[in-house]
Every structure is written in C-alpha cells, then in structure tokens.
Amino acid sequence: MNDASVLSARGLSKRFGPVVALEGIDFDIRPGEVRALCGENGAGKSTFIKLLTGVYHPDAGSVQVSGFHRPIRSPREAQAAGIALVAQELSVCPELSVEDNIWLGTLDIPFLHKRAELRRKARAALDLLGMQAIPLDVPLSTLSLGERQIVEIARMLTRDAKVLLLDEPTAALSDNEIARMSAALRSLKREGRSIIYITHRMGEVFDLCDTVTVFRNGKHVSTRGIEGLERSELVELMLGRPHDAMYPPAQRTSGDVRLSVSGLTIPGRVSDLNLDVPAGTICCLAGQIGSGAEEVIRAIAGLEYAAHGEVRVNTRRITLGSAESALRNDVMYVSGDRAAEGVFQELSVGENLTALRLDQHTRAGVLQRRSLRDKARDLARQVKVDVGRLGSRANELSGGNQQKLAFGRCLDRGRPGVIVMNEPTRGIDVGARAEIYALMRQFCANGHAVVVASTDLEEVIGLGDSVVTLYRGRRVGSYPRGQATMQQVVTDITHPVA
Ligand SMILES: Nc1ncnc2c1ncn2[C@@H]1O[C@H](COP(=O)(O)OP(=O)(O)OP(=O)(O)O)[C@@H](O)[C@H]1O
Ligand SMILES: [Mg+2]
C-alpha cells in the first residue's frame, strides 16, 4: 500500500462465468481527493465499487484501507473500515419515512441513542444538500425519483466515512441539485474525506473532480489530473476511438399532429398544460425535479390516476389513468427508473426485448418460439446489446445496457403512435447515448412522435425538435429547434417570468 493512500487496491480481478468484468486493477486514492471513475457501460465501474464494499469477492487481488488491517469481506466490514456507498440503483425502502431511510442499515447507532439527536443529524444532512423543503416524516414513496436519490446521499453523509463512493449519484438530478451536491462534496473534501465518483455526465467530471480514472473492458486505461485534460480526449480514452457527432440531424416531418394534450391537470403537480407534437418529431420537456415534466409523461402513459384534461393520440382520446387505454392507443412508455419499472429484472434479456409482442408471434394460439428468438436477436442487434447474452438475466447486465432493453421493447411496433420517456439516457455512456438518440430518430422516421422529459439540459437542446420549459407544473416557454439557448432554458426553469 502506498503510504499517502487512504485506500489502495492491487491486482483486482473479477469474472462472472465467461464474462471478465475486471482484470488486474491497481488503484490508489489520497485523503481529500475527488476521483472520477469513467468508462462505457459495462466497463466494470460498479463491479469495482462492489469489490471495494465487500458485496463481491475478488477472484484475485486485494483492497487495503489505511488503519484497517483486515480484508473487507462484507458490506458490514466495509462500513467498519470507513467506506460508504451510494448505489447506482436506489436501495431505499419506499414505505418507510425519509428519516428511517436515512438511518437504514447504519451499524453503530447506540442502543439508547436519543431520537432527537438522530433527527437533528438527518435534518442537517438534508439541509446540507439544499433539501430544506423535504419533511422527515413523510413516506419516501411520496418523493420524486430525484428527491429519493438525494435522500440516499443524505444517508451516506450521516455516516462518518473516510471514503465515499458515489455510483452515478446525479443521474436523475437537475442542474440546480447538481450545484447543491457539488457544494456538499466540496465541504466533505475540505474535511479530508476522499470521494470516488462515477458519472456519465462529462460536466461533472470537470466541475467536481481532481483526477480521473478510466476503465475500458474491465481494464485500467489511464489515471490523470483533470487540469489540462480535454473533453474529447477523455471521451476517446473511454471509447478507445474518436467520438463522432452526438445528435443526429432532424428529419422533415409530415405535419400531422400525432399527440395533442389540452388542459392536462394533475392536482398539486401540473396545471392546465397544452402540447401538440407532430408525427416524426421529438419534443423535449425541460424542467428541474418537481417541475411536473415527469408527471406529464406518466399521465400520457396512463399512469397518473388523478390526471384530468384531454390527451389524444391520432385524434383518438385516451382514458386518463388507464395504462391499458394508453397502450391500446399506441402509447409506449420508457421509464427512467429501470430497476422499478423499466426492466423485468428476473427475466432474460431476450424475454425483456420481446415482452410486449407475444401476440405478434402467436399462430393459432401457439407461441412461435423460433420467430420470437429471431426477433429478440434482431432487436438486440438494433439496440447494440450483445447477442450472446440473450439468455442472461436482465439484472446481470450493466445499468446502461438495461436501459437499452427498455428501448428495444418499443422498436418496430405496428402503427405509428407516441413514445414517451422519462430521463431516457439516465446512466447511459457517451457512446451509447449517440446510439440511443439515433434510435429515437428511427422512431421518428417510422412516424412516431417522441416526448422526452429530461433534466439534462445539454440533451434537451441538442435533441429536441421543440423544447417546452416547465416550472412548478406550468408551461413557461416553447421553442422550435435551434431557438432554445442554454441560458434561456435555465432562466425559464428556475426564475419564470410572472
Ligand atoms: N452479477 C453479475 N452477473 C453476471 N455478470 C455481471 C454481474 N455484474 C456485472 N456483470 C458484468 O460485468 C461487466 C461489468 O459490469 P458493471 O456493472 O461493473 O459495469 P459498469 O461500468 O458499472 O457499467 P454502467 O456504466 O452501465 O453502470 C458487464 O459485462 C456486466 O454485464
Ligand atoms: Mg454501473
């Protein structure tokens, strides 16, 4: 172990059956250092983190933490060694209160610890993250996905850890929350804590981190300082090749209105929203967490039971609050919360891809397994998921590759309709993002209308044929392609004109 390191790994290797997830990784981090860990989907980042926290056991190699002289064999021992983790998939319990979630799994709460003291600490952690408005007593399930993620971070802050591991903590946060979180991280850094930070958003690497380590195909490619590093250089280290244009060009549209929303209201969330989306176009809804963009998407998909107003697809009115009605009228929904509603974790990759088209492969009541398998292979190729892994369970894929399954389900489906998505590139690497955007254009070319809710403003501006900005459930502005500037969008979603 290097003397100056607080944590050090030597020769770490891990395989899953035939898949080599990590091979011979050496890694050192100093006190007060903020290290970005970058790499494509499936590069081995989460596996590395799980080895550091004793969730997985290495096939070879070892991890040492200064002042802790035993190997780390379980998450319990990792906590004892001073390592705390915010996981990529949320590991919180929606039925428990915010406060209970914050203390969930903490080992060293003294038996007679005063409740008031715990409350004070939980409150302080949330406040540090700028979440003064979140009460401690409400069930977590009443919060949005982004807010839940912040609770998860607060949970980690209450533990007195030397090394903090964040696996895509901001994947669903808005720029404002990212700013708050970076302030929180800086104060942790000043206290001499070390942070390993996994993200697919390049902005965060350059804004938050001192150094960056890149993994590619399970191998360590490079570790270097952020200063003097170019974005394009970092992307090339990750992909192993230069990167082409991120956003595909827009096509000409046929002009028919595919989706029309009028007077959509969800009490307390969305007020009187109107939206027309022509066939063959992508409409991006931009807003911070709590803007209502996520709820608009869910309402169109029939998932908001309190919604009223009118939603028409191909001029047919759908019954709000009925997912069945939405699906029957050609609305497809891609969720950003893949663990909870995007992907069937226990089913195979192939089954996930073909889940919604069993009827197309049934003849006289008999499922045509062969044609279904061919279809799965074809879809896997289109979304660039390894065809050799069709039989693997979905939860064995890396996070980004799971998201691709949710897309694959929507490809080539009968009549042109509407595809609605929440945070569609959450957790998706820069290379695969370009592929996903190309897939969205393919949906457009097939005559669909696409509506995307996103807190990633670069994405909103690069991708949208129209950009609609939202603030506290109301529409602020609407811009055709090329006319939304970053500054205007940020102004709209934070300080709306009265
Ligand atoms: N439990 C498991 N069983 C089988 N294979 C696994 C398992 N966990 C990870 N893998 C495989 O190991 C490789 C590395 O996965 P890992 O989750 O570490 O990637 P990652 O860098 O975190 O990707 P992402 O950016 O998508 O989160 C992938 O090929 C993945 O499918
Ligand atoms: Mg991961």
User: Using a 6 Å cutoff on CB, does residue 431 contact ligand 1?
Assistant: no
Q: How far is the CA of 238 from the centre of ligand 2 (A)?
A: 14
Q: How far is the CA of 267 from the centre of ligand 2 (A)?
A: 36
* Burial zone of 232 (CB within 10 Å; 0-12 exposed, 13-18 middle, 19+ buried): exposed
User: Using a 6 Å cutoff on CB, does residue 21 contact ligand 1?
Assistant: yes
pLDDT in tens, the chain (498 residues): 666 899 999 999 999 988 899 999 999 999 999 999 999 888 999 999 999 999 999 999 999 998 888 888 888 889 889 998 876 555 667 788 888 888 876 656 555 567 788 888 889 888 877 778 889 999 888 887 667 777 877 887 787 788 999 888 755 566 666 676 777 778 778 888 899 999 887 878 888 899 999 999 999 999 999 999 998 899 889 888 776 677 777 766 667 899 999 999 999 999 999 999 999 999 999 987 778 999 999 999 999 999 999 999 999 999 999 999 998 999 999 876 666 666 788 888 988 888 777 667 777 777 677 888 888 899 898 888 888 899 999 888 877 788 888 888 877 667 889 999 998 887 778 777 888 888 899 889 889 999 999 988 888 998 999 999 998 899 999 999 989 888 888 788 876 554
The residue whose C-alpha atom lies closest to atom 17 belonging to ligand 1 is 398
Residue type (1 letter), 177 = E
Residue type (1 letter), 457 = L
User: Using a 6 Å cutoff on CB, does residue 45 contact ligand 1?
Assistant: yes
Strand partners, 248: none
Location of structure tokens 């799971």 = 402
The residue whose C-alpha atom lies closest to atom 29 belonging to ligand 1 is 42
Among residues 274, 279, 272, 265, which one has the least CA distance to residue 314?
279
User: Using a 6 Å cutoff on CB, does residue 399 contact ligand 1?
Assistant: yes
Location of structure tokens 């169109």 = 300
pLDDT at 146: 66
Q: How far is the CA of 204 from the centre of ligand 1 (A)?
A: 22
Laid out side by side, the sheet with 19-29 consists of: 19-29, 7-16, 60-65
Residue type (1 letter), 291 = S
- For the full predicted model, state whether its pTM sits above 0.85: no
Residue 187: other Cβ atoms inside 10 A = 12
Structure tokens of 255? 């002009």
Q: Which residues surround ligand 2, an ion (CB under 5 A)?
A: 46, 88, 399
Exposed e or buried b per residue across 311-329, where buried means at least 16 C-beta atoms within 10 angstroms of its C-beta: bbbbeeebebeeeebbbeb
* Ligand at shortest distance from the CA of 43: 1
Task: Please calculate the CA angle 394-395-401 and round it to the nearest 5 degrees.
Answer: 65
* Candidate from 37, 46, 90, 198 with most ligand 1 atoms within 8 A of CB, to mutate: 46
* Candidate from 12, 14, 16, 425 with most ligand 1 atoms within 8 A of CB, to mutate: 16
**CA-to-CA distance for 61 and 13, rounded, in angstroms?**
6
User: Using a 6 Å cutoff on CB, does residue 492 contact ligand 1?
Assistant: no
User: Using a 6 Å cutoff on CB, does residue 396 contact ligand 1?
Assistant: yes
User: Using a 6 Å cutoff on CB, does residue 46 contact ligand 1?
Assistant: yes
Q: How far is the CA of 171 from the centre of ligand 2 (A)?
A: 11
